[in-house]
Structure 1
């Protein structure tokens, strides 16, 4: 007998985001990001298109503009819309191991995959950042 669909013994967790904004002519990219123990990760930046991620190892402190910072652990998925939304941090909360995550990104044509903010833009957008004890 042919079985169609997931096995009854498998576990299936799904992160679904309806209707992400996908720039015309985008290209897909898959990357693995490794953050050394205790590292703060990349500085404030934005992506040209939507990003879906999955933590493979460790724990990351993930902060998007307009949202409370959140901890994602190995086995958890995350989402960011890209475009004008700033990604403030993906810091490794573990000091004993690397943290690694896998991302699938849709990148707008002729736009860098990551664009970093300068100090003036960070200051101008500070009112959009959720203030919490972790920021």
Structure 2
């Protein structure tokens, strides 16, 4: 016997992440990105974004680390966010050595600025105390 079909044909909505970013750039340009990382990819070098970013892992696992927070593994079906602005994004690499990881990111950026702003070695050194120590 088949279960009865749901009478209401409305979609079901599930909140996966709700945050209040510290700011949204004036006249923000909002973009949605698909990031596909091959097995073992370290991701982008340390960088920052001009505005907040919100992500959802579609497949695999990523190592996610922003300034002031410990590195953590975000798995398929989980979310992450970062405030952007002055905060350094240290890691976004694929945590899997044998499979691709894919995730969506919605970013609110300052128009006409690069989406990813690299952080140089001198700045990393000057802000070393803001990075949460990694377990050995």
Q: How high is the TM-score relative to the length of structure 1?
A: 0.89
Contact 2:66 2:90 in 1 (8 A): yes
Task: Give the aligned length.
Answer: 130
Tell me which residue corresponds to 2:16: 14
Determine which of 91, 94, 98 is the counterpart of 2:93.
Answer: 91
Q: How high is the TM-score relative to the length of structure 2?
A: 0.88
CA RMSD of aligned residues (A): 1.7
Distance 2:47 2:109 in 1: 14
**1:110-130 Cα deviation digits (max 9, x unpaired):** 321110011101101111000
Determine which of 125, 128, 131 is the counterpart of 2:130.
Answer: 128
Distance 2:31 2:56 in 1: 14
Distance 1:16 1:64 in 2: 18
Equivalent position SS for 2:123: helix
Tell me which residue corresponds to 2:78: 76
Contact 2:57 2:77 in 1 (8 A): yes
Deviation of the 1:93 alpha carbon: 1.0
Equivalent position SS for 2:65: strand
Deviation of the 1:39 alpha carbon: 1.1
Is structure 2 residue 38 aligned with structure 1 residue 36?
Answer: yes
Q: Which 4+ runs in 1 deviate beyond 6 A?
A: none
Distance 1:13 1:70 in 2: 21
Gaps of 5+ in 2: 1-6
Deviation of the 1:68 alpha carbon: 0.7
Tell me which residue corresponds to 1:111: 113
Tell me which residue corresponds to 1:53: 55
Tell me which residue corresponds to 2:27: 25
If you compute each CA radius of gyration, which structure gives the higher value, 1 or 2?
2
Gaps of 5+ in 1: none
